[in-house]
């Protein structure tokens, strides 16, 4: 019998070797070296987490919350290192979506009938 966890662990190791992951890692290191862009990145990340927690607890984010996020997004547009990171995140996300489709194919086929 196959141990699917061994396959998953191998996949994790292989993911680290992909160009998409390596480029994201490089972009993140460059972002960390740019103090103002990294501060903006952290503020966006914190605000997104805060909004997600609000939504999960049944609270509605306020207009002020959305304005803050929009303002931070505009600020982020001015940082090349942050833009590069987002492009690399998107490339990795596309690959992960493709992998997810492959992994879930047997389940989709099962329910297709």
The pair of structure tokens assigned to 36 is 């103002």
**29-61 per-position pLDDT tens digit:** 999 999 999 999 999 999 999 999 999 999 998
User: In angstroms, what CA-CA distances link 103 with 7, 92, 100?
Assistant: 11, 16, 5
Q: Name the pTM for this structure.
A: 0.84
pLDDT band at 1 (very low <50, low <70, confident <90, very high): confident
**70-103 per-position pLDDT tens digit:** 999 999 999 999 999 999 999 999 999 999 999 9
* Level-2 CATH architecture, domain 24-112: Up-down Bundle (1.20)
Residue with tokens 């390596």: 22
The pair of structure tokens assigned to 39 is 């501060």
Residue ranges per structural domain of the chain: 24-112
């Amino acid at each position: 019998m196959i141990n699917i966890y061994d396959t998953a662990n191998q996949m994790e190791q292989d993911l680290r070797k992909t160009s998409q992951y390596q480029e994201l890692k490089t972009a993140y290191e460059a972002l960390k070296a740019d103090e103002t862009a990294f501060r903006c990145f952290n503020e966006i990340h914190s605000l997104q987490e805060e909004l997600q927690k609000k939504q999960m607890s049944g609270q509605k984010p306020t207009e002020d919350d959305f304005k803050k996020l929009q303002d931070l997004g505009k600020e982020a547009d001015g940082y090349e290192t942050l833009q590069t990171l987002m492009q690399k995140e998107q490339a990795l996300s596309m690959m992960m979506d493709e992998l997810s489709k492959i992994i879930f194919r047997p389940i989709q086929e099962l329910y297709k009938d």
